[in-house]
Amino acid sequence: MSSTEVFAVADVHYRYLERFVALAGVSLDVHAGERVGLLGANGCGKSTLLKVLAGLVHPDRGTVSGFGKELTEAALEDEQFARGFRARVGFVFQSSDAQLFSPTVRDEVAFGPLHLGFDGAEIEQRVDDVLALLGIAELADRAPYQLSGGEKKRVAIASVLVTNPDVLLFDEPTAALDPRTQHWLLDLVVELHRAGKTIVCATHDLASLDQVADRCIVLSENHDVVAIGPPQEILADVDLLEATNLVHTHEHRHRNGIHTHRHDLDHHRPSISANWEADELRTHSTERGTPTS
């Protein structure tokens, strides 16, 4: 095991509610300081895999270790290990609503440090700093349910960053955000990576893949790993993307005929045309319809 290894997952199987398969023999590793993108269609097990990495759910079969120690239920019941692990691993959930459970934004951001045993003055300082960093200082006394989707995401990230974790797990961070907030978030991820954080990001947003990942891990709809490689390589393998339902062949009617082409799942995003992946994909499209006039 190399010294830079953060997570090592070996042949992990997991069934949701002991019935529905979510992971079927997944193996991968994550090294310190790298950005890993977990790719896969809805329901392929990305979220579950992140929860396994975060030590929140435990596999039925196979092993997962974090920072060189196996993440079992017993290990995480050990107070010292649990504290050390929770402080080092930050998890931004897909649903901000689930993550923002405190009465106010300030309480929310203070929750992590409080439960990890930071002292009072330091908590105050850190909360103020991180609220300022994410530009949400004026929301401090608001209740989470009063916030917009973008504001909620900022608060969720603040509540994770406040403990200064080494590893950040993002579950579809850009889903349901407006383009401006998406760009802000992608910039933040780049910034955090530059600051030395390890980042694991589950996504099916191919357009922003190169910003969040140095290495991609593709999960199939059979809940196993089908490819690992740099984003350019993965995005170029259109057959793979189609097999994993990350792009689809799509037929639609224009005023002047029918044509068929492949889309990535976010083809409706206004920012897409600026990204090279999209152009790359479009070059693979095949024209079938013929102009009528």
Question: Which residues are at the interface with other proteins (CB under 8 A)?
Answer: 17, 51, 54, 56-57, 79, 82-83, 86-87, 89-91, 93, 95, 97-104, 106-107, 110-112, 114-116, 120, 123, 141, 143-146, 159-160, 163
Q: Tell me the residue ranges of DSSP E strands in 1-80.
A: 5-16, 20-31, 35-39, 61-66, 69-70
CB of 100 vs other proteins, minimal distance in Å: 8
Structure tokens at 269: 């995003």
H-only helix segments in 70-195: 73-77, 79-88, 96-99, 105-115, 120-133, 149-161, 179-194
Q: Pick between residue 114 and residue 132 the one whose CB is nearest to other proteins.
A: 114
Minimal distance, residue 183 CB to other proteins, in Å: 26
Name which of 65 and 211 has its Cβ closer to other proteins.
65
For residue 275, what is the DSSP state? S
Please say which residue, 167 or 217, places its beta carbon nearer to other proteins. 167
State the minimum distance, in angstroms, from the CB of residue 38 to other proteins: 17
Q: How far apart (Å, rounded) are the C-alpha atoms in residues 22 and 258?
A: 38
Instruction: Measure the CA–CA gap between 107 and 204, rounded to whole angstroms.
Output: 32
In angstroms, give the least distance from the CB of 235 to other proteins: 26
For other proteins, the closer of residues 101 and 276 by Cβ is 101
Determine how β-strand 198-203 pairs with β-strand 167-171. parallel
N-terminal to C-terminal alpha carbon distance within the chain: 65
Q: How far is the CB of 2 from other proteins (least distance, A)?
A: 26
Of 100 and 185, nearer to other proteins (C-beta) is: 100
Q: Could you tell me if 220 and 266 are in contact, meaning their C-beta atoms sit under 8 angstroms apart? A: no
Nearest-angstrom CA–CA distance, 53 and 74:
15
Q: Which residues contact 134 (CB under 8 A, 6 or more apart)?
A: 154, 155, 157, 158, 161
By beta-carbon proximity to other proteins, the closer residue of 40 and 144 is 144
Shortest Å distance, C-beta 112 to other proteins? 4
